[in-house]
Structure 1
Amino acid sequence: MSDEVASRRAAPVLVAAAGFLLLTSSHAHAQWWKRAPVDFEECADAAEKSATKAEKTAALADCNAKFAGRRKVGGGYTYYDFLQDRTFDIAGPNPTPEEQKKIDESYTAYLADQRRNNEAVQATARQQREQQQQQAQQLQQVVLRTEVERVPVPVERPKVQQTVSARSKSAPCTKGSFSCEWPRLSESLSEIKKLFSPTPSKPAKKS
């Protein structure tokens, strides 16, 4: 009998306790849902209220991972793509699949432009190197030509024999000199030799 009374008395207490726990749980769940951030700015505001600096840093990192967009002053959000170094307008705190597709297409076009720009820069640099090489070769040729022009050309020595012969032909013969008298003496001696030399007889003809 006493056990039944005790059970009846304890039942309201247990019901009250269960109700309190259920109410507390529902209130906590409602508070959590109410505080759930809808974008990066709300998440960052909640992270600022963290107890320690480490918790704040971790909470901000979590906010950055959850929300890619940032609020715009006039409404809406923007998404910054650091690979392209530009921003895109998006409707919500994160890009939709269609918005993300446009961002990716823009990045592909950005890479193509970068590649073309790099090729143009390389071509310009290559042309400049070739022009510098041509200018260096032309300068080297000018220097060599100048050095050759500075070297003195040796003067041809006169031919003594030709000069003497020319002088002998052009200079008049001095009368009484050996050089002038010797040709006439040589002719006279030849005539004398012919006088004293017997003339060879012709062989007789056979009958």
Structure 2
Amino acid sequence: MSSVFASRRAALLLVTAAGFFLLTHSYAHAQWWKRAPVDFEECADAAEKSSTKAEKTAALAECNAKFAGRRKAGGGYTYYDFLQDRTFDIAGPNPTPEEQKKIDESYTAYLANQRRSNEAAEAAARLQREQQEQQAQKLQQVALRTETERVPVPVERPKVQQRPKGAPCTKGSFSCEWPRLSESLNDLMKLFSPTPSKPAKKG
């Protein structure tokens, strides 16, 4: 009887131990599924299982806030900095302090390059405006000069040189012939102009 009792007791202990083991194992397995996600992709997969659309949206927003990096196909993670519009390779799901420092330094250099590019663009635009203004002034000057050349300048009437008194007269010269022509014209005018009749004297 004692041997049967002992074997039953051993069996009971074995069943109890096996049950305890199974319970512990299943609890550990359940805990593995409930552990916190290690990166964005794992977090997003859990968010997809949300019961409502609102819960899913809220869960994805939380994943975005919690994890900055995204998995790479070949391993590791990338971080996208929208301020610089470029990605950086990082070791884990979030940048380390050292990695964040490099990203910030890169952003400072990016801002300096942007400022230089803007200054160069402004200088080029200013130079182009100045050249256009100079070209417009030149065209205006050419147009004014052309317009001035088109307008005829009044020609001054040649002055008749008077022959000094007592100077010898060169035959055929205008200064010698003009006085004679003038006298002849006066004589012709007298011939054709009737002489006014004098009124008769009253006695």
Structure 1 and Structure 2 fold alike (TM over 0.5): yes
1:69-84 equivalence runs, <5 A: 69-84=69-84
1:36-51 equivalence runs, <5 A: 36-51=36-51
- Percent of pairs with identical residues: 83
Change (3 A) 1:167 1:60: same
Aligned counterpart, 2:132? 132
Structure 2: distance between partners of 1:145 and 1:43: 80
Structure 1: distance between partners of 2:148 and 2:178: 46
Q: Cα RMSD (Å) of the superposition?
A: 3.0
Q: What secondary structure is seen at the aligned counterpart in 2 of 1:107?
A: helix
Structure 2: distance between partners of 1:82 and 1:154: 75
Structure 1: distance between partners of 2:36 and 2:86: 29
Aligned counterpart, 2:122? 122
CA offsets per residue over residues 10-29 of structure 1, 9 Å max, x none? Answer: xxxxxxxxxxxxx89x9499
Aligned counterpart, 2:188? none
1:142 aligned onto 2:105: no
CA offsets per residue over residues 55-86 of structure 1, 9 Å max, x none? Answer: 10000000000000000000000000000000
Alpha-carbon shift at residue 33 of structure 1 (Å): 6.4
1:65 aligned onto 2:74: no
Higher helix share: 1
Change (3 A) 1:32 1:61: farther
Aligned counterpart, 1:158? 158
Structure 1: distance between partners of 2:179 and 2:110: 104
Structure 1: distance between partners of 2:44 and 2:179: 129
Aligned amino acid, residue 82 of structure 1: F
CA offsets per residue over residues 86-134 of structure 1, 9 Å max, x none? Answer: 0000000000000000000000000000001111111111110110011
Which of 160, 164, 167 aligns to 2:174? It is 167
1:110 aligned onto 2:117: no
Alpha-carbon shift at residue 156 of structure 1 (Å): 1.7
Change (3 A) 1:44 1:131: same
Q: Aligned pairs, how many?
A: 151
Structure 2: distance between partners of 1:151 and 1:173: 38
Q: What secondary structure is seen at the aligned counterpart in 1 of 2:88?
A: strand
Aligned counterpart, 1:94? 94
Structure 1: distance between partners of 2:178 and 2:54: 127
Structure 2: distance between partners of 1:172 and 1:37: 126
Structure 2: distance between partners of 1:157 and 1:63: 101
